[in-house]
Amino acid sequence: MTINILVTGANGFVGSRLMAVDLPRTSSIRLRGALRSGKTSPNKLANTVCIDAIGPTTSWIEALTGMNVVVHLAARVHILDEGSAEVISEYRFVNVQGTLNLARQAAAAGVHRFIFLSSIKVNGEETFAGQAFSEDSLPNPSDPYGISKYEAEEGLKTICEQTGMEYVIIRPPLIYGPGVKANYQNLIQLVKRGIPIPLGSVSNKRSMLALDNLINFIILAVDDPRAANQTFLLSDGQDLSSAELVVKIARALHVVPRLWSIPICFLRMMGFAAGRRAVVHRLLGSLQVDSSKARKLLNWTPLIGVDEGISRAVAPMLTRSKRANDDKACS
């Protein structure tokens, strides 16, 4: 039986990788990507459909025709003015109302399973020594994005209970891989340029998830009956301190890591004074994830390790550097 899968956010960081996955010729999986109107796919995908901006009134009828599974990756991740009074409403418009609108239409269209990419932020922002978030941890979202993802999870469960559609909820920590943006990309740039990074004394522990490990799990969750109506926390299984991450990035870039050791109290003071409180928490605090449920229930193991994941994340930068050097040599 052919499994037809609608992938929302098909031109995004995760979606474009999923749409480009090298499935065996014998695979029964067929992917259809949903793109925002006016957006283009980086992979020039043939099987795509355009939709309006995601919200409570978006029509998904054309996109859902003939689909058995939905993998919902599209989300509102950043808002320019995070301090605005309307910020939570803006997150809810896309991440809650938009998700639940899609879920209702999916159930009405006969979709069998709805896979929802949530966030570890549903559990919270930090763990403490000897502890790790698991599926049994009480939700404790503290920012508008995390709150919107938690509300979407709860609404999705209700819809599935009412309609019989199955859900699979995935709460990943930091996802990294080719095309990664934001703070992870900034860190790669700093390491590559040889700029001293004052994290040598940081001994925190943070879980991460390589993009290809996430894609591997999503494909597993598409039709495994054991995944039905389950929530999963995922990680690579090797937690790193911020200092260890810098060293591994430097090794992948073939450069010498330049780490300075500065007392953590001073780092916190400098970060808070610069208005980068959230960044400071991520660089200095711990956030560990226990992914044993996925390993035991679904027999899942990460496809690649952290070193390989980091190598794949920095590979595009190495390629660009090589091309730039080749161009200089030829000029």
Strand partners, 111: none
> Cα–Cα distances in Å, from 93 out to 58, 60, 97, 109, 164?
11, 16, 5, 22, 25
Nearest by Cα to 259 from 280, 245, 274: 245
Q: pLDDT (tens digit, 9 = 90+) per residue, 87-141?
A: 899 999 999 999 999 999 999 999 999 999 999 999 999 999 889 999 999 999 9
Average pLDDT over residues 149-178: 98
CA-CA distance, 42 to 16, in Å (whole number)?
A: 7
- Chain-wide mean pLDDT for the chain? 91
> Measured on CA atoms in the order 134, 135, 141, 143, is the torsion positive or negative?
positive
Which pLDDT band holds residue 46 (cuts at 50, 70, 90)?
A: low
What tokens does 100 get? 């639940």
CB-CB neighbours of 113 under 10 Å: 24
Place of tokens 């025709």: 65
Residue 275 has pLDDT above 90, yes or no: no
What tokens does 203 get? 């001994």
Which pLDDT band holds residue 143 (cuts at 50, 70, 90)?
A: very high
CA-CA distance, 313 to 303, in Å (whole number)?
A: 15
Higher-confidence residue: 156 or 128?
156
What tokens does 277 get? 């409180």
Q: Do domains 3-171 and 180-206+238-324 have the same CATH topology?
A: no
Residue-level pLDDT at 4: 96
Residue 54 has pLDDT above 80, yes or no: yes
Residue pair 146/89 in contact by the 8 Å Cβ criterion: no
CATH architecture of 180-206+238-324: Alpha-Beta Complex (3.90)
- The single-letter code of the amino acid at 120 is I
Place of tokens 């991450």: 245
Superfamily designation of domain 3-171: NAD(P)-binding Rossmann-like Domain (3.40.50.720)
Indicate the domain borders of the chain.
Answer: 3-171, 180-206+238-324
The single residue of 145, 150, 176, 184 carrying the catalytic annotation is 145
What tokens does 179 get? 């095309």
What b/e readout covers 205-241, taking b as 16+ CB neighbours within 10 angstroms? bbbbbbbbbbbbbbbbbbbbeebeebbbbbbbbebbb
Residue 259 has pLDDT above 80, yes or no: yes
Residue-level pLDDT at 321: 61
Strand partners, 36: 51
Q: pLDDT (tens digit, 9 = 90+) per residue, 70-95?
A: 999 999 987 655 556 688 999 999 99
SS3 content of the chain, % helix, strand, coil (to 5): 45, 15, 40
Residue 326 has pLDDT above 80, yes or no: no
Strand 113-117, strand 48-51: pairing? unpaired
Which pLDDT band holds residue 201 (cuts at 50, 70, 90)?
A: very high
Q: In the annotation, is 145 catalytic?
A: yes
Place of tokens 């979606």: 15
CA-CA distance, 73 to 119, in Å (whole number)?
A: 11
Which pLDDT band holds residue 274 (cuts at 50, 70, 90)?
A: confident
Greatest Cα-to-Cα distance within the chain, rounded to the nearest angstrom: 66
Average pLDDT over residues 5-20: 96
**Range with lowest mean pLDDT among 12-26, 154-168, 228-242:** 12-26
Residue-level pLDDT at 26: 67
